Amino acid sequence: MSISRRHFMVGTALTTSALAIPTFLRAADKPKVVVIGGGAGGATAARYIAKDSKGAIDVTLIEPQQAFTTCFFSNLYIGGFRTFESITHDYRTLEGTHGIKVVHQMATGVDKAAKTVTLADGSSVPYDKLIVSPGISLKWDSFPGYTKDASEVMPHAWQAGPQTQLLKSKVDGMKEGGTFVMVAPPNPYRCPPGPYERVSMIAHVFKQKNPKAKIIVLDPKEKFSKQGLFQAGWEQHYPGMVEWIPASIHGGIKSVDVATGEIKTDLDTFKSDAANIIPAQAAGEIAATAGLTNDTGFCPIVPGSMQSQADPNVYVLGDSTIAGDMPKSGYSANSQAKVCANAVRGELTGSKVFPAKFSNTCWSLIATNDGVKVGASYEAKPDKITSTGGFVSKTGEDAALRKATFEESVGWYAGIANDIFGA
Amino acid sequence: MICSRRNALIFSCVLIAFGLPAGFSTDAHSQTTQASEALSEQHKLLVTRGTEVFQRCTACHRIGPDAENRIGPHLNNLIGRTAGSIAGARYSDAMKKAGQDGLKWDANTLDAFVADPTSFIEDTTMGLDGVEDAEDRKALIAYLSAFATGSSNIPETPAARGLPSADPGIPAEILAIKGDPEYGEYLSSECLTCHQSSGSNRGIPGIVGWPVEDFVVVMHAYKSRKRDNPVMQMMASQLGNDEIAALAAYFQQKGQ
Ligand SMILES: Cc1cc2nc3c(=O)[nH]c(=O)nc-3n(C[C@H](O)[C@H](O)[C@H](O)COP(=O)(O)OP(=O)(O)OC[C@H]3O[C@@H](n4cnc5c(N)ncnc54)[C@H](O)[C@@H]3O)c2cc1C
């Protein structure tokens, strides 16, 4: 058998020089993975598949942005602890070191029968396996009056980039002694502690530059992640500055008016001098277009592999998924991406598939050197990804531990940024 | 055996613990402890002297958790490093060539180089005149070694609150498990969310190149909650003995 194969190769090598490359290495014959979305989930999956398959799989990453600003640590940017550049990453290492083809376009459709992805310019890209990690879409109808245009005045800053810069400028430039209003998002949303870390960072700015300013949080929920820790931190570092009002007290957001700065609730009308409105969320639009979502607006997946329940050749990661007990976080998306990469490689090249393990930790900064964290580990049960145990920082921890927790988060950021975008 | 190794971990922690709280537990195993305390007292003095000698290097070199390349390369993990091998650092062609020819930094090669740089590598760009005093060189190398991979960069947290010791006391058969590095590589992807694959110590300790036994001991100390960090306790609680061995095998290999 090996002899006839050798003869075959020699023969073809004589006819065309292109075929001198052993057949199994030719790009046209390699299995193809296409990844939609170059964020925490998508870029990690692309990188791990390319890195671990050592060139045996052809990986294309579709992402409209030239550079990706992480939502994680974007609150620290607002608080003045990080520069915008330090939270922005390009795709050069993924292209250069890992040989991933990065296409800077929007994916506009998926033909699951033909196994192709359509791009904004009308071209299409074929795949054997498709990975979809488009993050979230914002539901513009969730607070009456809050539209995409309105977000240019009252930013959401829940997708990082110019929105984050706009929010920072609103915070820095708010009139002296003014009122800042945040409308927090209803469940489920990306980064459960995110709004409250943001409140802390805005309070940190006000404490230095605008000490008479007030922050009002209008929350559609009754409780929130790490609530005790945040509220104790606000009392300690920013006494009297932050007022958190749950739905049972304000009765619901009735309307948002960017022209007057007014936010109406059942209880009262709140007049803001600057505001941050974070609307309800659903899976990234392309996930719905591709028919991967169910009536929750998110994508059901197979817990052990992140395979879409709608199509065995498609995998979904990160914020767009219904990931059981896992929160929507960058850490989760990165963790899921590795499980998915292992499964996809196994399918395409027969590499060993190891059992899924997931974990998550979310660090939050409350004030200078006052870091807290919450985390858990998970396993894939047949019906859903299930928590197997976790931890959370405690109120009253000493300053040294809080500082160590903050320093740990800085290390985590450096680590995960390298893990997603390559070092 | 575990006991003396643990003491080694503890004092090496003191050396690198610029940012870390310096409280650590005392050990009940008195005899070994006394012997190694005397040793560590001596070693501490040597390192203190080394800190002073290192001042001659600081115009060009940095060392420690945030160290980056300056005029010369950073000096973390210097012991065992191939000469001229840090990406992005400036080296003379002579230094790079020495590395290509197989020069590795250890106590002997460093001693010779530092004693008289240009007679060791004729065209080196290192501007140091040479450290004449042999005891000074020994002190300097002791100081530099404290920032090396292996047990010395394992942060010895104090034993978890209320416990006298972080020693997990693992039985020999667990230490003897031979890990599967391929499985370790897969499992390592979870570690690499936080621990950098470059081995950098920034914010979170580097774990690349640790000796297998240290790795196993430390992970079991987290698993049995004798070390305090909750993220690590959670991670370790998910790992079986074989998985810890696999990770240890993989990370040691990765450092080579
Ligand atoms: C303020 C804030 C703070 C946060 N802090 C933390 C934190 O401290 N720790 C943490 O772990 N997580 C944090 N998060 C959450 C984290 O940012 C998200 O959970 C994570 O980014 C989700 O990853 P993803 O891959 O699902 O989506 P994303 O990272 O958002 O990536 C999606 C990508 O897909 C692209 N895309 C979308 N549609 C298409 C299309 N049709 N075609 C091509 N590309 C497309 C987008 O341009 C985007 O680049 C925070 C979030 C916020 C808002």
Q: How confident is the model at residue B155 (pLDDT cuts 50, 70, 90)?
A: low
Host domain of residue B186: 172-254
For residues B136 and B47, membership in a common domain is answered with: yes
For residues A286 and A396, membership in a common domain is answered with: yes
Does residue B38 register a pLDDT over 90?
no
For residues A201 and A131, membership in a common domain is answered with: no
Q: What is the reported pTM?
A: 0.79
Structure-model confidence comparison of residues A14 and A175, the more confident one: A175
Domain closes at, from A249, A277, A305:
A277
Does residue B164 register a pLDDT over 80?
no
Instruction: Tell me the per-residue pLDDT of B200-246, one tens digit each, with 9 for 90 and over.
Output: 777 788 888 888 888 999 999 999 998 888 999 999 999 999 999 99
Does residue A319 register a pLDDT over 60?
yes
For residues B37 and B127, membership in a common domain is answered with: yes
Q: Which helix (H) or strand (E) holds A376?
A: strand A370-380
Closest by alpha carbon to B204, among A371, A48, A40, A337? A371
Mean of the per-residue pLDDT values for chain B?
Answer: 79
Does residue A304 register a pLDDT over 50?
yes
Q: How confident is the model at residue A78 (pLDDT cuts 50, 70, 90)?
A: very high
Residue B235 lies in a domain: yes
For residues B125 and B21, membership in a common domain is answered with: yes
> A44-58, A252-266, B149-163: lowest mean pLDDT where?
B149-163
CATH label of the domain that carries residue A28 = 3.50.50.60
Does residue B12 register a pLDDT over 50?
no
Residue B79 lies in a domain: yes
Q: Give the strand pairing for A129-132 and A314-316.
A: parallel
Query: Which are the contacts of B79, defined by CB distance < 8 A and separation ≥ 6?
Result: B105, B106, B107, B110, B144, B145, B148, B149, B150
Torsion sign across C-alpha atoms A195, B203, A89, B70: positive
How far, in Å, CA of A311 to CA of A319, rounded? 19
Residue B178 lies in a domain: yes
Best A44, A342, A354 member to test B by mutation, with max B CBs in 10 Å, is: A354
> A112-121, A249-258, A292-301, B5-14: lowest mean pLDDT where?
B5-14
For residues B130 and B177, membership in a common domain is answered with: no
What average pLDDT does this structure show over B38-59? Answer: 83
Q: How confident is the model at residue A4 (pLDDT cuts 50, 70, 90)?
A: very low
HEC profile for A227-288?
HHHHHHHHHHHCCCCEEEECHHHHCCEEEEECCCCEEEECCCEEECCEEEECCCEEECHHHH
Residue B162 lies in a domain: no
Q: Distances in Å between the alpha carbon of A377 and those of B186, B205, B252, B253?
A: 17, 21, 25, 27
pLDDT value of residue B148:
63
- The interface predicted TM-score (ipTM) is 0.83
Mutation test of ligand 1: which of A36, A47, A70, A72 has the most ligand atoms closer than 8 Å to its C-beta?
A72
pLDDT value of residue B120:
93
For residues B57 and B133, membership in a common domain is answered with: yes
Please answer yes or no on whether A48 and B196 come within 8 Å at the CB atom.
Answer: no
For chain B, the domain total comes to 2
Contacts of B227 in chain A (CB under 8 A): none
Domain closes at, from B127, B145, B163:
B145
Share of chain A above pLDDT 70, in %: 93
Mean of the per-residue pLDDT values for chain A?
Answer: 93
What average pLDDT does this structure show over A222-243? Answer: 97
Q: Is B90 exposed, middle or buried (0-12, 13-18, 19+ CB in 10 A)?
A: middle
Residue B48 lies in a domain: yes
Residue B150 lies in a domain: no
> A3-12, A55-64, B42-51, B189-198: lowest mean pLDDT where?
A3-12
For residues A149 and A254, membership in a common domain is answered with: yes
Q: How confident is the model at residue B43 (pLDDT cuts 50, 70, 90)?
A: confident
Residue B232 lies in a domain: yes
CB-CB neighbours of A400 under 10 Å: 12
Please answer yes or no on whether A418 and B197 come within 8 Å at the CB atom.
Answer: yes
Residue B130 lies in a domain: yes
For residues A70 and A180, membership in a common domain is answered with: no
For residue B204, what is the nearest residue in chain A, using CA coordinates?
A411
Share of chain A above pLDDT 90, in %: 93
What distance lies between CA A246 and its chain's CA centroid? Answer: 26
pLDDT value of residue A75:
98
Instruction: Tell me the per-residue pLDDT of A122-137, one tens digit each, with 9 for 90 and over.
Output: 999 999 999 999 999 9
Q: How confident is the model at residue B23 (pLDDT cuts 50, 70, 90)?
A: very low
Closest by alpha carbon to A372, among A392, A355, A357? A392
CATH label of the domain that carries residue B102 = 1.10.760.10
Domain closes at, from A277, A305, A328:
A277
pLDDT value of residue A384:
97
For residues A96 and A181, membership in a common domain is answered with: no
For residues A361 and A285, membership in a common domain is answered with: yes
For residues A389 and A358, membership in a common domain is answered with: yes
For residues B23 and B86, membership in a common domain is answered with: yes
Host domain of residue A158: 140-277
Beta bridge partners of B104: B82
Residue A182, both tokens: 């945040």
Domain closes at, from A257, A277, A297:
A277
Q: Which protein residue's CA is at the shortest distance from atom 20 of ligand 1?
A: A330
pLDDT value of residue A72:
98
Please answer yes or no on whether B193 and A410 come within 8 Å at the CB atom.
Answer: no
For residues A254 and A310, membership in a common domain is answered with: no
pLDDT value of residue B166:
75
pLDDT value of residue B81:
85
For chain A, the domain total comes to 2
Query: Distance from the CA of A337 to the center of ligand 1, in angstroms?
Result: 13
Q: A391 to chain B, minimum CA–CA distance in Å?
A: 7
Residues contacting ligand 1 via CB (< 6 Å): A 36-42, 62-65, 68, 71-72, 74-75, 106-107, 133-135, 158, 190-191, 194, 198, 284, 286, 317-320, 328-331, 333, 362-363
> Biggest alpha carbon distance in chain A?
85
For residues A94 and A180, membership in a common domain is answered with: no
Does residue B1 register a pLDDT over 90?
no
Does residue B116 register a pLDDT over 70?
yes
Q: Distances in Å between the alpha carbon of A260 and those of A175, A226, A242, A388?
A: 15, 33, 22, 48
pLDDT value of residue B40:
61
